[in-house]
Structure 1
Amino acid sequence: MEQQVRSGWAPDRGPGRIGTFWIAVWTFFLVEPLSAAWDRRDTVAGWAGIVLTIAFGVWYVAFFGYQRRNGFARKTFHLQAPKAAAGIALALVLAVADCIAIGQDGTATAVYLCVLFVMALPTPLSVVLALVNAAAWYAAGSVVPGWNLDNSLLLSMLTASAAVFGIQQMILGNIRLRRANEENQQLAVADERNRFSRDLHDILGHSLTVITVKAELANKLLDVDPERARAEVADLERLSRDALADVRRAVEGYRELTLPGELTRARTALRAAEIDADLPNSTDEVPGDLRELFAWTIREGVTNVIRHSGARTCTVRLTPRSAEVVDDGCGPVRERGSGNGLVGLRERAAAAGATVVTRPAQPKGFSLQVVVPA
């Protein structure tokens, strides 16, 4: 129900209420048969005409309100066929009874019947029945004794049918548009969830890998070098705080990384994993619009080196148009060419017009490179 209110589908809000108001306004044209019945108020037929005309107008407005609540709530506009047929049948009975009571003046209700056919039934059935209804009432002018052919009535019925048909198509178009908007919103939410899950994987995957490596190292050093083990534990505390801060920034929407900061983290992580690091000392040559992408490249590449490579050395190369992480480990195993991390990196690279290249390094090892065409 909350979704219906937000998207305008709630039956007691928006265009439906305005539509009911205008339907009630148009019943003003029933004043003509009502006036004719009032002129005959000294007869039973006159009072019957007054009651029948008022009943027809009330039912007409009530039927539209019922359709709005039930059709719009189901996002289909039209009623189910049995309910639509019952409502139109009752209106037709009231209209015929009104004509029996006050004569041809009661044919003003025929215009409203055409509107009901078009409004309540799906096309093309509604158009066919509206035309049949108009033809029948017009022909009655030459068949019923004392009646005359009424060209203005025929024009009114056809004009009203065409106008309501146009309004109906506009409403149906709006319904389809709202459905499409709802589907787009759902897809956008799903895409955002996937993006956020990949970001958390990238952030926590790197941080938890480093924490795991440092914890293993500290455990080995407890009996051999207590002072260094204490330093590693202190690093563990700092890294866990940094990881928590990264998660908070991601939750708040601040996902930007700094390239110098990522190089510093890479140096610390590689040293903890006892992997020799060859990292650039400056990032000045990297354009500002590529620094976040290259920072993600280094994070993903270094994380994979620590997790999967078994390498002894790791080299990071930066140029104005590329970032590369190379190791001398076991080479390209399946886990290093797939996974959420590389999927997320490929999406970020594609958004920047760049390409992710993974290949074996020479004489051994693995290379992860992001290249931006000149």
Structure 2
Amino acid sequence: MILTSALLSYLGITALNIAGTSLGLLPMGICLLCLVAIFVLQLQHSRPGADLVPPVRKRITLGVQALLTYLPVMVFESQWGAMAGFLAGSLLLLLPPRVAWPMYGAVGLSMLAPPAIDGRPLIDSIYLFQSTLLTGLVVYGLSRLAALVRQLHETKNELARMAVTKERLRISRNLHDLLGYSLSAITLKSELIHRLVLTQPQRAKAEIEDVLALSRQSLADVRRVSRGLRDMSLQSELASVTGLLEATDVKVSTEVRLDELGPEVNTVLAAVLREAITNMLRHSRATECSIEAVQDCGRVRLVVTNDGVAAVYRDTSQDSGAGLQNLAMRLRSVSGRLTIAHGSDGTFRLTAEAPVAFVAAPREAGEEAFRRPRAEEPSTLPCTGPAA
């Protein structure tokens, strides 16, 4: 709108200057037609992306504008000189800088001639030269400004779309991490209740109470997803998953040496433990599981190892998710890392390491948050010693 108003103002000034002369109706009509043609051409040259059109089309439109700039000078003399500024601006908009700026200067210099031919003072030639260059810069600047404003609006809309997508991914990831374990536990306990309800009613009743507690917790988790992933405790999750595995006849061994963890790291590692147990229950026939949670030298390491995994592990089920990738992203957000190892004897090991207290660190180029080492590759901490 600003660019269009400025162009119309320049055209109006030129029309008023020529209307003040003693020319007849026919020259005035030709003047108006030329002004309209220049206005249309300038709008084409000033639109966003005009510099990307084919070179042939650029040469044609610039050639037509040059003719409409210089030929009317023979009739309207210096009164038409303002239109040279439009041509100068178009050259800057459409041509490469190394070509555009010399031609821009040449257009300005060419406007020294009309006042001299008319016998006007030298000051008029200098004025027309300077006004031509100034008009060219105004046309160029306003055109670029309009393109930048449009690009800014497009970028703003794209950022809004990205924010919506990011929020959807966050909700999806939180639902997966929070509910995957709970729903798997409810399913397993329900199957256990189905087997026990006739033979061991008292134990079945106790399992039903656990299912009710899990259901209530799942409902609360869903309500909290809109506020982000709730704070979770690694210690609490260790107790919860140990009870679940024992109820499903999986032999569990644990080694826990933990002090107080930062809230972010505590939540992430608790989510890692949940996802590891969920994957084990869904994708293996585990009979033994070992869980190690050790804090040492300012870092904490969580290792979950289980057996009962196929020789070549590949989850091709329709319901397979991206739990490990989600957890790798979470660990990377607290300067940690996630590694997995698949042994030839059917064992599966998941290792998560992170600093005890999260300190933001720059992300190294090419660093991978998730990798698959060889089964024999050890997962080590930077140093060994007594628990922190």
Band the TM-score falls in, shorter-chain normalisation: 0.5 to 0.7
1:222 and 1:229 in contact (8 A); partners too: yes
User: Quick check: 248-257 or 335-344, which moved more?
Assistant: 335-344
Shift of the alpha carbon at 1:292? 0.9
In 2: Cα distance, 1:250 partner to 1:334 partner: 35
Deviation per CA, 1:198-231, whole angstroms, max 9, x where unpaired? 4333333212221221122122113322343344
> 1:293 maps to what in 2?
268
Return the match for 2:295 from 316, 319, 328.
Answer: 319
In 1: Cα distance, 2:351 partner to 2:191 partner: 30
What amino acid is the match of 1:295? Answer: A
Shift of the alpha carbon at 1:110? 2.9
Q: Which has the higher contact order (CA 8 A, sep 6+)?
A: 2
Matched, 1:349 2:349: no
3-state DSSP of counterpart to 1:371: strand
> Which aligned pairs between 1:103-122 and structure 2 lie closer than 5 A?
103-119=77-93, 121-122=94-95
2:256 and 2:294 in contact (8 A); partners too: no
Shift of the alpha carbon at 1:176? 6.4
Deviation per CA, 1:114-139, whole angstroms, max 9, x where unpaired? 334545x3446765765665565555
> 1:8 maps to what in 2?
none
> 1:246 maps to what in 2?
221
Change beyond 3 A, Cα 1:306–1:280: same
> 2:373 maps to what in 1?
none
In 1: Cα distance, 2:84 partner to 2:45 partner: 20
Matched, 1:34 2:16: yes
What amino acid is the match of 1:324? Answer: L
Deviation per CA, 1:163-217, whole angstroms, max 9, x where unpaired? 5445555666666677777666666665655554443333332122212211221
Matched, 1:18 2:2: yes
1:141 and 1:147 in contact (8 A); partners too: yes
TM-score for the superposition, normalised by structure 2: 0.66
Change beyond 3 A, Cα 1:86–1:350: closer
Paired residues, what number? 343
TM-score for the superposition, normalised by structure 1: 0.68
What amino acid is the match of 2:199? Answer: V
Change beyond 3 A, Cα 1:335–1:54: same
In 2: Cα distance, 1:77 partner to 1:156 partner: 25
> 2:351 maps to what in 1?
369
3-state DSSP of counterpart to 1:319: strand
Higher helix share: 1
User: Quick check: 275-284 or 288-297, which moved more?
Assistant: 275-284
In 2: Cα distance, 1:292 partner to 1:336 partner: 28
Unaligned regions of 5+ residues in structure 1, if any? 1-16
1:311 and 1:327 in contact (8 A); partners too: no
In 2: Cα distance, 1:324 partner to 1:222 partner: 36
Change beyond 3 A, Cα 1:151–1:46: farther
Matched, 1:236 2:214: no
Deviation per CA, 1:219-260, whole angstroms, max 9, x where unpaired? 211332234334434543443343343234334434443335
Change beyond 3 A, Cα 1:99–1:292: same
User: Quick check: 205-214 or 235-244, which moved more?
Assistant: 235-244
What amino acid is the match of 2:265? Answer: L
What amino acid is the match of 2:225? Answer: A
> 1:12 maps to what in 2?
none
In 1: Cα distance, 2:21 partner to 2:81 partner: 17
What amino acid is the match of 1:319? Answer: Q
Change beyond 3 A, Cα 1:285–1:155: closer
Q: State percent identity of aligned pairs.
A: 26
> 1:275 maps to what in 2?
250
Return the match for 2:286 from 310, 332, 339.
Answer: 310
Change beyond 3 A, Cα 1:48–1:129: farther
1:134 and 1:158 in contact (8 A); partners too: yes
Deviation per CA, 1:288-347, whole angstroms, max 9, x where unpaired? 342112211221232234332512454453436324244563479654999722222222
Deviation per CA, 1:57-90, whole angstroms, max 9, x where unpaired? 566556555666xx34xxx255957599569837
> Which aligned pairs between 1:200-219 and structure 2 lie closer than 5 A?
200-219=175-194
Unaligned regions of 5+ residues in structure 2, if any? 356-381, 383-388
3-state DSSP of counterpart to 2:281: helix
3-state DSSP of counterpart to 1:372: strand
In 1: Cα distance, 2:38 partner to 2:238 partner: 74
2:254 and 2:291 in contact (8 A); partners too: yes
